[in-house]
C-alpha cells in the first residue's frame, strides 16, 4: 500500500493543509470507520459529529469548515472534499491495474486496429474493421462486432458485447455484462402475428460516458440512438431504440427509457424511474425513484416524483393524504351510523 503524506495529498488535489504536513496514511476509509492510517472525507453537514469522533489520520473538509471541537486529524481544506477524496482514490488506490498486450487466446481480425498501450484479454473477439484507440483495457470475453470504433482510454469489463457499427468516444467505461447495439424492440402486428422490423440504425456514445453492469443500449431502427458526453448510467438501465440522452445525465439502477424519447442534458433519474416513448424531457430536471414520466416535461429545475410524475410537493401532499384515507372511512361510517340513529329516533 502507498504511504502518502498530507503534503503530497494537498499538492495532488490543490487543498490547504491545516496541521502536520508530514502526517502519512496508507489506506482510505469511511469517516466513522477510519483509523490513524486512513484518509477520509467530510462533506455533508449532518455528519459533523462524526468528525470529532473519527480516528482518521488525514481528513478532507470543506474550505469554509469551522470546527467547534478539537480534531486530532490533520485537515486538508478543499472546495469539494468528495471530489478531492475521489481523486486520491483514482490515482493511488484504484484496484483496476492497467495491463498491456494481447492475450494468446484473443481473436483479433487482421483488419482490426488496436491502439498503442492497449490490453486485449483472454477470449476477447474483435471483428473486422474495428478500430480501438490508445490505452484501452479490453477484459476477458468481450465481443466487439464489425465496423465499430472506440476512442482512447476505454475500459470494457468482462462479458461486454458491442454490436456492429457502434461508435464510442474517449474514456468510455462499460461494466460487466453490458450490451450495446442490440436490436430495438420493433415489431409490426400483421394478421394477428408480430412481424420483426429490421433495426438498421446504430448507437453513438460520446466522450466520458460510463455504463454500469448489465445495461442495454438498443440500436436505432433507422438513424441513431445517442448517449451524449459525460452521461452515467447505473446497473440494469435500459435505453430503447432512437432515444437521445443529453449531456451529463445520470440514471440510477433499473431505469428504463422507451423508444424515440429525448432526455435533456443534466437530467437526474432515481432508481426504477420509467420514461414513456416519443416524448421530450427538458434539461435540468430531477425525478425520484419509481417515477413514471408519461408525457413531455416542459421547463427546467423541476423536482418530480410519482406516477404519473408530478411536482414533488404535490406528490408528497398526496402521499400524506392517502395515509389518512382509512381514518376518513371510519369517520364516514360513524357519521352514517349517527344519521341512521337520528332517522330512527324521529320515526
Catalytic residue numbers? 241
Handedness of CA 311, 312, 317, 321 (dihedral sign): positive
Handedness of CA 337, 338, 341, 347 (dihedral sign): negative
Among 227, 185, 181, which residue's Cα sits nearest to residue 201? 181
Q: What are phi and psi of 214, to 5 degrees?
A: 60, 40
H and E: helices and strands count for the chain: 5, 40
Q: Would you mind telling me the total number of residues written for the chain in this entry?
A: 347
CA 343 to CA 75: how far, in whole Å? 77
Cβ within 8 Å of residue 26, ≥6 positions away: 1, 2, 3, 4, 37
Helix, strand, or coil here: 174?
A: strand
Q: The cell 492497467 sits on which residue? A: 98
Buried b (16+ CB within 10 A) or exposed e, 326-342: eeeeeeeeeeeeeeeee
Amino acid at each position: 500500500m502507498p504511504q502518502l503524506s498530507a503534503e503530497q495529498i494537498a499538492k495532488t488535489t490543490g487543498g490547504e493543509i491545516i496541521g502536520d504536513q508530514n502526517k502519512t496514511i496508507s489506506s482510505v476509509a469511511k469517516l466513522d470507520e477510519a483509523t490513524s492510517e486512513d484518509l477520509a472525507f467530510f462533506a455533508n453537514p449532518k455528519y459533523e459529529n462524526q468528525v470529532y469522533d473519527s480516528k482518521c489520520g488525514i481528513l478532507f473538509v470543506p474550505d469554509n469548515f469551522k470546527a467547534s471541537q478539537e480534531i486530532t486529524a490533520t485537515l486538508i481544506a478543499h472546495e469539494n472534499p468528495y471530489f478531492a477524496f475521489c481523486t486520491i482514490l483514482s490515482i493511488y488506490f484504484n484496484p483496476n491495474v492497467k495491463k498491456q498486450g494481447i492475450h494468446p487466446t484473443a481473436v483479433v481480425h487482421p483488419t482490426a486496429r488496436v491502439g498503442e498501450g492497449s490490453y486485449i484479454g483472454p477470449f476477447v473477439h474483435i471483428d473486422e474493421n474495428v478500430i480501438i484507440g490508445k490505452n484501452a483495457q479490453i477484459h476477458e470475453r468481450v465481443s466487439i462486432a464489425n465496423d465499430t470504433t472506440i476512442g482512447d482510454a476505454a475500459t470494457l469489463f468482462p462479458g461486454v458485447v458491442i454490436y456492429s457499427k457502434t461508435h464510442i468516444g474517449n474514456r468510455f467505461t462499460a461494466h460487466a455484462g453490458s450490451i450495446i447495439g442490440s436490436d430495438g424492440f420493433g415489431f409490426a402486428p400483421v394478421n394477428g402475428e408480430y412481424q420483426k422490423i429490421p433495426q438498421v440504425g446504430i448507437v453513438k456514445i460520446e466522450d466520458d460516458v460510463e455504463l454500469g453492469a448489465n445495461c442495454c443500449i438498443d440500436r436505432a431502427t433507422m438513424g441513431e440512438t445517442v448517449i451524449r458526453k459525460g452521461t452515467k448510467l447505473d446497473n440494469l438501465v435500459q435505453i430503447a431504440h432512437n432515444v437521445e440522452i443529453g449531456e451529463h445525465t445520470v440514471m440510477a439502477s433499473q431505469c428504463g427509457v422507451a423508444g424515440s424519447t429525448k432526455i435533456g442534458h443534466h437530467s437526474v433519474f432515481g432508481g426504477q424511474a420509467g420514461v414513456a416513448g416519443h416524448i421530450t424531457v427538458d434539461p435540468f430536471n430531477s425525478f425520484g425513484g419509481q417515477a413514471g414520466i408519461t408525457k413531455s416535461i416542459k421547463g427546467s429545475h423541476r423536482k418530480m416524483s410519482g406516477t404519473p410524475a408530478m411536482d414533488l410537493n404535490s406528490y408528497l401532499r398526496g402521499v400524506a393524504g392517502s395515509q389518512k384515507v382509512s381514518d376518513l372511512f371510519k369517520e364516514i361510517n360513524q357519521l352514517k351510523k349517527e344519521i341512521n340513529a337520528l332517522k330512527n329516533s324521529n320515526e
